Structure formats: C-alpha cells, structure tokens
A and B are shown apart, each in its own frame.
Chain A
C-alpha cells in the first residue's frame, strides 16, 4: 500500500539529469529532465531525437535532430533511463 502514495515511476532521482526516453513507436529522445508528474509526463530541456530508419532501427552512425524544450506525454512513454551508466555492448 505504500506504493500507492509513492509511485515507482518516481523520477525524482532523475531530476536535472540527462535521461533517455523511449516511446511506443520506437522513437528515442534524450534530454535533461526538468519536470515530471505521476502520469510520467515529462518535460525535457535540450532534447535530442535519435532518428530511425523506415524499419524503426536507429540509424548508425546516430543522426540527431535537435528539439530543445519538449513535453513528453506519459501515455506513449515506454521506458526511461538515465544516460550515465549506460554503455553499448556490441554483438549480442
């Protein structure tokens, strides 16, 4: 029952940090988390979108589009993770 008051999606830890947000259709955006709420709607500053090809795979080398200040609707968010501590492993 304590989870009821403090949602797991407590983005307090990620506040003012650079985070990656993944969306339902495979879009990926990264930016500094400036605001959030219980529905996990997010406000990102200095947001960058990583562009994908027609199949939804991220383009290699990554091509970016600069978005600036953006609002992300929580209902279409898949996952959120902080950029620090994330490393790419090649050839799974």
Chain B
C-alpha cells in the first residue's frame, strides 16, 4: 500500500494536514497529485501560537511542506479494495499477455531453436560423420571403398 494511493482514496473525506511549519489545515480533500499537493475545501487553518483560526472556502497546500496527515479510518478499507481491483486487472492482462507471448514466443523460440539445433545437430552429425567418414576413408583407401577418391583410384 503506497502512501499516495492512500491519499488518493481519501478524496472527498475530511482530512487534517500538519505542515513542517506547524500550521494545521482541517478540511475536505478534493484533489491530490503525484507531488502530494492537495486541494481542500471547507478549510479551517490554525497557526502555532495564534488564537485566531482562519476559515477558508478553498485552499491549495504544497506537498513538500506536509509533515503528516490525519485520515479517517475508512480510507484504509477503500485503498485495500482498490488495490485488490488493480491486482485483478493485472492478473487478467497478465494472463492474456502470457498466452499471446507464449504462443508466439514458444513458436518463435522453437523455430529458431530448431534451426539452431538442426544446424548444430547437422554440424555435430557432420562432424561426427566426417570423423567416421575419415576413419572410413582410411579403411576405404586400404580396401578401396572410400567416398570418391578411394573409388576413383580403384
């Protein structure tokens, strides 16, 4: 569970922000972004050591100044539900992509591997064959049964 996803699911719920400077903003969260900049409505803002509070219709708080947030407990359940939804999507998309890649990939890999193996085997066989052929030629020359040279001589 990421902190930003927790905040995103807190949209529309009351929230309390304490800033690094000690200011406190109580309000309803409208919007948030990736930098944790928050937009609140129906805000009451208080400052350290001041008896006055400021009531604001709207307020934008910059993310880098936030020290901590107080969120309602309902938000945790919301984020869990959204995290589960995302996992389900990932599973679905993940299965589809594996099937596609598996078929094509296996076929491609098989084809490429087959050729390689074929060449390899062919080379191996050829090598082994040549080896055997070499031995055979030797015998062939003596007997006169070799491939071409042996026969031509004989």
The stretch of B52-60, B68-76, B88-96, B131-139 in contact with A is: B52-60
A65 at interface by CB-CB < 8 Å: no
The stretch of B25-33, B79-87, B109-117 in contact with A is: B25-33
Residues of A within 8 A of B58 (CB): 13, 81-82, 85
* Pair A24/B21 contact, Cβ less than 8 Å: yes
* Pair B60/A90 contact, Cβ less than 8 Å: no
Residues of A within 8 A of B61 (CB): 78-79
Would you give the shortest CB distance from B64 to chain A, in whole angstroms?
A: 8
Which residues in window 7-31 of B have CB below 8 A to A? Answer: 19-21, 23, 25, 31
* Pair B54/A80 contact, Cβ less than 8 Å: no
* Pair A57/B50 contact, Cβ less than 8 Å: yes
Q: Mark B40-54, 1 if CB is under 8 A from A, else 0.
A: 000111110111111
Q: CB-nearest residue of chain A relative to B19?
A: A78
CA distance A80 to B65 in the complex (A): 12
Which residues in window 1-56 of A have CB below 8 A to B? Answer: 3-4, 7-9, 11, 13, 22, 24-26, 40, 55
* Pair A90/B54 contact, Cβ less than 8 Å: no
Residues of B within 8 A of A78 (CB): 19, 21, 23, 61-62, 65
In the complex with contacts A8-B39, A9-B62, A90-B52 CB distance below 8 A = yes
Residues of B within 8 A of A3 (CB): 31-34
Q: How many residues of A contact B (CB 8 A)?
A: 32
* Pair A92/B52 contact, Cβ less than 8 Å: yes
Q: CB-nearest residue of chain B relative to A2?
A: B33
* Pair A4/B51 contact, Cβ less than 8 Å: no
Which residues in window 45-88 of A have CB below 8 A to B? Answer: 55, 57-58, 74-75, 77-82, 84-88
B5 at interface by CB-CB < 8 Å: no
Residues of B within 8 A of A82 (CB): 56-58
List chain A positions with a Cβ less than 8 A from chain B.
3-4, 7-9, 11, 13, 22, 24-26, 40, 55, 57-58, 74-75, 77-82, 84-92
List chain B positions with a Cβ less than 8 A from chain A.
19-21, 23, 25, 31-35, 37-39, 43-47, 49-62, 64-65
A-B contact pairs, 11 of them (CB 8 A): A3-B34, A7-B35, A8-B31, A25-B21, A26-B21, A57-B47, A58-B50, A84-B57, A85-B57, A89-B44, A89-B53
